[in-house]
Structure 1
């Protein structure tokens, strides 16, 4: 039986009761977030969506839509894309080595994309949130922060592993504003992007950090 796609990173290989096996409230939140972001007329993306990892390890399949205006230099090809996304290959590659099966990863963890958006210049080059001014980002934070907090609450999250300084900073600010009494820990891992500063030997550094955080026990 083909996997039933439930969301970007959750699937079942057999028929299931979604009320029992997956938090519908989470899916509603993601729909709400995407609908709000749609007001900005920006395309959305799968976090760490490296084709090989998504299709062959996470076993996710399905159609991928296109934005209303598509850059000629960066056409959306979905699962037909032949390019490898280095960040995703590094991230999912690490947990594939540690966990073996994706189910072992999702027993204790899930991946949440704080800002499921992608910006590109006319030549197809990526534009990261760090390249915008604080004023430009305020509207996005006002949308993303409350949804992020709701996700933490419905899953009773105890530890946030922030991938990159941007996510670490947003987690800190959101908790301070919306859950000031929270005891949720925020731990930092460098972003696996090759554009990140001092990012050689990412896998080795990530493993060392997980060991120091005493979290390897959940993945091995």
Structure 2
């Protein structure tokens, strides 16, 4: 089995196991983009996950206007369509909050985190293929959670029993991805992903680093995020 085939098989297992979990209030709506946006996700893995990687960038979980719409990590519509060259039909998702419908590539809201992340890589590497020669971007958790009010609820805010069950699946998947891609470095995008990577990759040969999350909800990210992260990656020895 090829590398991208192995990633796709691992994602299917994660998708199916996550879909068996139940989540109670305050979570009111659960989004599984690996189900309704599987076509785009599979294209992403097959096109860009076809080789070993030196660096694996690890995000937290799908954002409401990114991967929850396009099926691609940090999947701001314009970045996925225009830079990654991916566009696919996104299925209807019945459990969407009225304020957070799944519109796929018709979504007019911009995922700022994805705009910043993919924008940094595009500015530095040019064509997407050049970036993916040594890098890959994946999320730790494949599921997004929305409260009754329409507010996004991050996985770390789930009750302990739900969190433990979910993290067990995500940890297993991350370990499998590590075996498939054999990265020298795993770089957590933000505190949550950095912490999960450090807990999962205890005895693995890979190094673990962390960069500032690009979310505008993080005040430090709104002041030259790309310059800050470029410096962080240089200090880790990953970029020159």
Question: Which TM-score tier does this pair reach, normalised by the shorter chain?
Answer: 0.7 to 0.9
Q: For the residues of structure 2 that align with 1:127 and 1:184, how far apart are their CA atoms?
A: 30
Q: Is structure 2 residue 78 aligned with structure 1 residue 78?
A: no
Q: For the residues of structure 2 that align with 1:203 and 1:145, how far apart are their CA atoms?
A: 29
- In the superposition, the TM-score normalised over structure 1's length comes to 0.83
More displaced stretch, 74-83 vs 117-126: 117-126
CA deviation map 1:28-86 (0-9, x unaligned): 00000001111126323332010000000000010112323221111111001111110
Long gaps (5+) in structure 1: 1-18
Match of 1:34 among 8, 12, 15: 15
Partner of 1:13: none
Q: For the residues of structure 1 that align with 2:127 and 2:17, how far apart are their CA atoms?
A: 34
Task: List aligned pairs for 1:6-45, cutoff 5 A.
Answer: 22-40=3-21, 42-44=30-32, 45=68
Partner of 1:214: 237
CA deviation map 1:144-177 (0-9, x unaligned): 101110110111111001101111111111123x
**Partner of 1:72: helix, strand, or coil?**
coil
RMSD: 1.6
Question: For this pair of structures, how many residues does the alignment match?
Answer: 194
Q: For the residues of structure 2 that align with 1:66 and 1:118, how far apart are their CA atoms?
A: 16
Q: For the residues of structure 1 that align with 2:232 and 2:119, how far apart are their CA atoms?
A: 16
- In the superposition, the TM-score normalised over structure 2's length comes to 0.76
CA deviation map 1:72-127 (0-9, x unaligned): 11111100111111000000010010010000110001111110111112232211
Q: Is structure 2 residue 132 aligned with structure 1 residue 110?
A: no
Partner of 1:173: 199
Long gaps (5+) in structure 2: 23-29, 33-67
- Larger proportion of strand: 2
Q: For the residues of structure 2 that align with 1:137 and 1:66, how far apart are their CA atoms?
A: 27
Partner of 2:85: 59
Higher relative contact order (CA 8 A, sep 6+): 2
**Partner of 2:8: helix, strand, or coil?**
helix
Q: Which of the two has higher C-alpha Rg?
A: 1
The alpha-carbon deviation at position 197 of structure 1 amounts to 4.7
Partner of 2:216: 194
